[in-house]
Structure 1
Amino acid sequence: MYSTFSKVDEYGFERPENFNYESYEEFMSEYLKVLAKRAKKWSEIIGEGKSVQRSITIKRYVRKGVPSEHRGMVWLSVSGGEELRNKSPNLYQQILSDTHDQQISDIIKTDLPRTFPDNIFFNNTDRHQRQLFNILLAFAHQNQKVGYCQGLNYIAGLLLLVTKCEETAFWLLKVLIEKILPEYYTPTMKGLCIDIDVLAELVRYKEPEVFQHVTRIGLPWAVIVTKWLICLFVDILPTETTLRIWDCIFYEGSKVIFRVALTLIKRNKEKLLACKDFADLAECFKIITKDRIALQCHDFMQSIFKVPGSLPNNTIIKLRARIEQIQAER
Structure 2
Amino acid sequence: MESETNGNISKLHLNSTKANDRVDPYGFEKPEGYESHEEKMAEYLAVLTRRSAKWSKLLGKGNVKVEKNQTVKRYVRKGVPNEHRAQIWMASSGAQAQLEKNPGYYHSLLGTEQQHNPKLEETIRTDMHRTFPDNVLFQSSSEPCLQKALYNVLLAYGHHNPAVGYCQGMNFIAGYLIIITKNEEKSFWLMDALLGRILPDYYSPAMLGLKTDQEVLGELVRLKVPAVWQIMVQHDIMWTLVVSRWFICLYIDVLPVETVLRIWDSLFYEGSKILFRVALTLIHHSQAEIVQAHSMPEVCERFKRVAQGDFTYDCHAFMQEIFREPGSLSKATINKLRVTCRERILAEDTRLRP
| Cα RMSD (Å) | 1.5
Contact 1:8 1:14 (C-alpha < 8 Å) held by counterparts: yes
Alignment partner of 2:28 out of 13, 28, 41 = 13
Could you tell me which residue of structure 2 aligns to residue 231 of structure 1?
A: 249
Could you tell me which residue of structure 2 aligns to residue 107 of structure 1?
A: 123
Report the 3-state secondary structure (helix = DSSP H, G, I; strand = E; otherwise coil) of the residue aligned with 1:114. Answer: coil
Alignment partner of 1:184 out of 202, 206, 214 = 202
Alignment partner of 1:94 out of 104, 108, 121 = 108
CA distance in structure 2 between the partners assigned to 1:27 and 1:309 by the alignment: 27
1:297 paired with 2:312, answer no
1:280 paired with 2:295, answer no
Deviates more, 1:207-216 or 1:303-312: 207-216
- Map 1:158-173 onto structure 2 (within 5 A): 158-173=176-191
Could you tell me which residue of structure 1 aligns to residue 45 of structure 2?
A: 32
Deviation at 1:20, TM superposition (A): 4.5
CA distance in structure 1 between the partners assigned to 2:298 and 2:23 by the alignment: 30
Could you tell me which residue of structure 2 aligns to residue 151 of structure 1?
A: 169
1:165 is matched by which residue type in structure 2? N
Alignment partner of 2:91 out of 64, 77, 101 = 77
Deviation at 1:271, TM superposition (A): 1.7
Deviates more, 1:25-34 or 1:277-286: 25-34
- Map 1:242-321 onto structure 2 (within 5 A): 242-321=260-339
Deviation at 1:71, TM superposition (A): 1.1
Runs of 4+ with deviation above 3 angstroms: none
Deviation at 1:280, TM superposition (A): 2.4
CA distance in structure 2 between the partners assigned to 1:152 and 1:29 by the alignment: 31
Contact 1:53 1:77 (C-alpha < 8 Å) held by counterparts: yes
- Scaled by the length of structure 2, the TM-score of the pair is 0.88
Contact 1:203 1:210 (C-alpha < 8 Å) held by counterparts: yes
CA distance in structure 1 between the partners assigned to 2:317 and 2:146 by the alignment: 32
> Unaligned 5+ residue runs, structure 2?
1-19, 349-354
Report the 3-state secondary structure (helix = DSSP H, G, I; strand = E; otherwise coil) of the residue aligned with 2:79. Answer: coil
Report the 3-state secondary structure (helix = DSSP H, G, I; strand = E; otherwise coil) of the residue aligned with 2:137. Answer: helix
2:267 is matched by which residue type in structure 1? I
CA distance in structure 2 between the partners assigned to 1:149 and 1:66 by the alignment: 29
Deviates more, 1:223-232 or 1:319-328: 319-328
CA distance in structure 2 between the partners assigned to 1:186 and 1:129 by the alignment: 24
Q: Judging changes above 3 Å, is the alpha-carbon distance between structure 1 residues 30 and 274 closer, same or farther for their aligned structure 2 residues? A: farther
> Unaligned 5+ residue runs, structure 1?
none
Deviation at 1:235, TM superposition (A): 0.9
Deviation at 1:277, TM superposition (A): 2.5
**What's the % identity of the aligned pairs?**
46
Deviation at 1:47, TM superposition (A): 4.9
1:215 paired with 2:233, answer yes
Could you tell me which residue of structure 1 aligns to residue 135 of structure 2?
A: 119
Deviation at 1:37, TM superposition (A): 2.0
Question: How many residues matched?
Answer: 324
CA distance in structure 2 between the partners assigned to 1:50 and 1:326 by the alignment: 45
1:135 paired with 2:153, answer yes
2:294 is matched by which residue type in structure 1? K
